[in-house]
Amino acid sequence: AKTRRTDPDEARAPSQPSSEVSALLLTGSLPRERSADPFFNSVFCVSNPPPPPFAKTTMMKVACKASRKACATTTKYGAAARTPVRCQAAASGSSGSDKIQRATRKFAADRLSAVAPSAGGAVTGLNIADNVTELIGKTPLVFLNKVSEGCGGTIAAKLESMNPCNSVKDRIAFNMINEAERQGKISPGKTTLVEPTSGNTGVGLAFIAAALGYKLVLTMPASMSMERRILLKAFGADLVLTDPAKGMKGAVEKAEAIASSTQDAYVLQQFENPSNPKIHYETTGPEIWEDTAGHVDIFVSGVGTGGTITGTGGYLKSKKKDVKVVAVEPTESPILSGGAPGPHKIQGIGAGFVPGILDTDLIDEVVKVSSDDSVAMARRLALEEGLFVGISSGAAVTAALELAKRPENAGKLITCIIPSFGERYAVCPFYPPSLSLSLTHSHSLSVKRKKTRRLSKDATK
């Protein structure tokens, strides 16, 4: 790639790329003949006859070296600069042709960014993720205005619902698979991943397993929403439903039974896996700290696996000792408060037991929120803030509002986690009864019309 060549067109190469150059950047194909476009020849180093085979290998090695160097200096996902976690051009699952095409695209993009001017809307490089896992993280914070009117404290919500599959669990799903793969415990195309999940972790695991080539079996209580089940099936996961009365404990037991009877199975164990809180310590916590410029005073999070509050809270306390960490749990299942487990409607939190990875020493206070209050707040966030969020998000905001109303918290910045997007819960009891009845009535009318048309056609025949 560094070889000096003599090209009479190089000195007079124009600064603007032609449509021919743009097309080749998108397809990633190597040119084999000279072009009439001097810019084309300058960027792609075209010679006549075609360049020797080693030129492709050199380009690939340069791209791999640059990628590895970038990986060593970026965050876990490389989300800020969108750099790969590992050298994608040298990934074991890629064919030689794919490696060359990826390296060539990067080489051409680098050359183009160096040659083309940055002003005037000209192409200066590509900001395209190599795969969907590189889009995880770097979620925004937004102030809550209308729902917090009259509160002395200020509330900022971190929209984890803006991850690729719309939940905070995208982070841990990626890290658990990535860490197990790095340690040689699993490999795509061979290992069957098994996991008990209340839904969002399963969705995160499902889309990442699909992207990386793993078979996935998930166990979950039958009380979880139909939307979640459809999503899991859409990504190709095998879904096993368990007795809802047993909660997540029943799903865990079923997952262990499946793993013991399946060859090359591996249970990721989100409730026990240290990769869960680790990714929040490395990414979620630093993101909140940076986005608030260190002014965060209180951090609020629901407790499901305990990874978010342990990792994020741990990082924030390491940066500022007086940061208060507040856990949120269902009133109907107040395990952290010393109560007994019970059924509730806040999907994703209140597992019915204390998870192994939860560091209870970090928690300064536990706030209990009822299922009805959580649903009501989720509706308010959609109507008053334009934020369509899940039920556990309603629980977190309800707890944050309770804290913001206290006189001792006047003037303080409270951040809370919005774990997931509302579309995943768009059935009763999430919608107001009037809307649910309206939707049901409309659906019934539609079914009747279709039946009438079908009978009419049969009669005509």
Structure tokens at 374: 């959580």
Q: From residue 351, how far is each of 20, 335, 347, 407, 443 by CA, in Å?
A: 57, 9, 9, 32, 34
Catalytic residue among 76, 169, 215, 345: 169
Query: 413 forms bridges with which residues in the sheet?
Result: 154
* CA gap 313, 323 in Å, rounded: 8
3-state SS string for 104-169: HHHHHHHHHHHHCCCCCCCCCCCCCCCCHHHHCCCCCEEECCCCCCCCCCEEEEEEHHHCCCCECH
DSSP 428: T
* CA gap 226, 265 in Å, rounded: 26
Q: Is the dihedral of CA 382, 385, 389, 390 positive or negative?
A: negative
Structure tokens at 112: 């183009």
* CA gap 83, 70 in Å, rounded: 7
Structure tokens at 193: 């991943």
| DSSP three-state, residue 93 | coil
Q: Which amino acid is at 304?
A: G
DSSP 29: P
DSSP 240: E
Strands (E), 23-174: 141-143, 154-159
Tell me, yes or no, if 392 is annotated catalytic.
yes
Is the Cβ–Cβ distance between 79 and 138 less than 8 Å?
A: yes
Structure tokens at 129: 């993720």
Q: Which helix (H) or strand (E) holds 22?
A: helix 19-27
Q: What is the largest CA-CA distance in the chain?
A: 81
* CA gap 321, 324 in Å, rounded: 8
- 34's CB contacts (< 8 A; 6+ apart) are 41, 46, 47, 48
Catalytic residue among 148, 392, 393, 420: 392
| DSSP three-state, residue 192 | strand
Tell me, yes or no, if 106 is annotated catalytic.
no
Q: Would you please indicate which residues are annotated as catalytic (active-site) residues?
A: 169, 392
